[in-house]
Amino acid sequence: MPALNPEELDGGILYHDAQVTFVERLVVENALASRAAGADIRTYARVERIVLDGNQVRGVVVRNVRSGTTETLHASAIVNAAGPWVDRVLAGADCPMPRFMGPTKGTHIVVHRFPGMSDVACYAEARSDGRPFFILPWNGLVLIGTTDTRCDADPASVHAEEGEIAWLLAEAGHVFPHAGLGRESVLYAYSGLRPLPRQGLRKTAAITRRHQIRHHGRTARGLYSVIGGKITTYRHLAEEAVDQVVQRLGIKAPPCTTAGLALPGGGGDRAAILAGLAGVPGLGKPSAVHLADVYGVRAPAVAALTSGQPDLAEAICPFSGAIAAEVVFAVRHEFATGMADILLRRCMAGLGPDLGRAALDRALPVAARHLGWDAMRLRTERQDCEAEIRVLASRPLPAPGSAA
């Protein structure tokens, strides 16, 4: 790490860890695996009420936030796995519920790679308050974060604030003083709330990162709330939750096998996948690499859409190499309902340095040609997608039709 600031540097340690490049894909892959195992997946379905009969749960009232339709789903067990929204979901129960959550907000910034940035991640502790943060090679860019501050705001409303961006720039700039990091270096920033338990501790770093699964036995038998939980430990947490439910319902179930199962795109040999994709007419090498990295063993299924439809092999994103076929694939096979889903949460072109703006221009005509979206739909989809991009963008979007 030659660009590291040598000032007051006593030494370093090297350790190994794992990185999930796109957590959005992890969610999609889990949804696909669940569907294959018999689950009914509903996106944009917001639980508005938990229905009780005495102290026994009977189901939930769900509103589709896109169509506005409401329905009641019946169940004798409900797992409230709404992360930082857990208390908000409980507020919709037919009886008073305790509050469990004490979320903290974390903000990241994304910048271009800078001279001296090495291929390994850098862990550092902030000069100002000793808080740990990372400077990570990620998605061809550099991810810097995170902050950690208490926050009781609506999780859907949180966004990066200038003070947080300035803090991250100053601290990363101290670690890599020749990186030339300034406000203009920030390509985009994003924030989220950690679903931590409510604890009266002064330091946010001291709040436990362990999870709990609470059964609301007295007030709402059959209702479980998941408090805490990390991406790293999600499989274990899910297994614990399902085991609890199965045990309390008195169901005889075989032992859980998911710990040893690959996700639908997982497993397989990357070199073999790439070799297979090399024979796809019109598919460029960067696009083949992108498909292999994003879809794993499912990449050939995406590429198969280009057969007889050569326009679908064309790249729609100059940065990620994402191709037109992914627009169709996301809607037909991965639950995507609109362009923001497609770019930001399926093909991942939306997390490149331009937040998918170039891909948006190219993906809309693809949706018109292959998904039948009419002019009005295209206009709405553009507006909705740009609105989501605007939340992440650290600079305003150029006006439509401008050269910028």
Ligand X SMILES: Cc1cc2nc3c(=O)[nH]c(=O)nc-3n(C[C@H](O)[C@H](O)[C@H](O)COP(=O)(O)OP(=O)(O)OC[C@H]3O[C@@H](n4cnc5c(N)ncnc54)[C@H](O)[C@@H]3O)c2cc1C
Residues that bind ligand X (CB under 6 A): 46-47, 81-85, 89, 106, 146, 192-195, 226, 229-232
Output 114 or 123, the one with its CB closest to ligand X.
123
User: Could you tell me the smallest distance in angstroms from the CB atom of residue 108 to ligand X?
Assistant: 6
Decide whether 134 or 369 has the Cβ nearer to ligand X.
134
Residue with smaller CB distance to ligand X, 126 or 301: 126
Q: Which is nearer to ligand X, 84 or 353 (CB)?
A: 84
Q: Which is nearer to ligand X, 166 or 272 (CB)?
A: 166
Residue 166: Cβ within 10 Å count: 12
Q: How far is the CB of 370 from ligand X (least distance, A)?
A: 28
For the CB of residue 311, give the shortest distance to ligand X in the complex, in Å: 33
Cα 232 from chain centroid (whole Å): 13
Q: Output the CA torsion sign for 177, 183, 184, 185.
A: positive
Query: With b meaning 16 or more CB within 10 Å and e meaning fewer, what string describes 308-340?
Result: eeeebbbbbbebbbbbbbbbbbbbeebbbebbb
Say how many Å lie between the first and final Cα of the chain, rounded.
35
Q: Minimum distance from CB of 390 to ligand X (Å)? A: 19
Kindly state the smallest distance separating residue 232's Cβ from ligand X, in Å: 4
Give the position of tokens 């024979």: 279
For ligand X, give the closer residue by CB, 82 or 299.
Answer: 82
Minimum distance between the CB of residue 377 and ligand X, rounded to whole angstroms? Answer: 24
With beta carbons less than 8 A apart as the criterion, state whether 230 and 202 touch.
Answer: no
Q: How far is the CB of 81 from ligand X (least distance, A)?
A: 5
Phi, psi for 131 (deg, rounded to 5): -65, 135
Least Å from the CB of residue 77 to ligand X: 16
**Distance (Å, whole) CA 233 – CA 20:** 12
**Residue 56, CA distances (Å) to 71, 80, 87, 249 in order:** 19, 15, 19, 12
Query: Least separation, in Å, of the C-beta of 119 and ligand X?
Result: 19
Q: Is the peptide bond before 146 cis (omega within 30 degrees of 0)?
A: yes
Minimum separation from the CB atom of position 229 to ligand X (A):
5
Nearer to ligand X by Cβ, of 93 and 366: the residue is 93
Nearer to ligand X, 62 or 187 (CB): 62
| Neighbouring-strand partners of residue 226 | 213
The residue among 229 and 296 lying less far from ligand X, judged by its C-beta, is 229
Closest CA to 317 of 327, 308, 307: 327
Residue closer to ligand X, measured from CB, 242 or 358 = 242
> What is the nearest approach in angstroms of ligand X to the Cβ of residue 86?
8
Is 148 or 381 the residue whose CB approaches ligand X more closely? 148
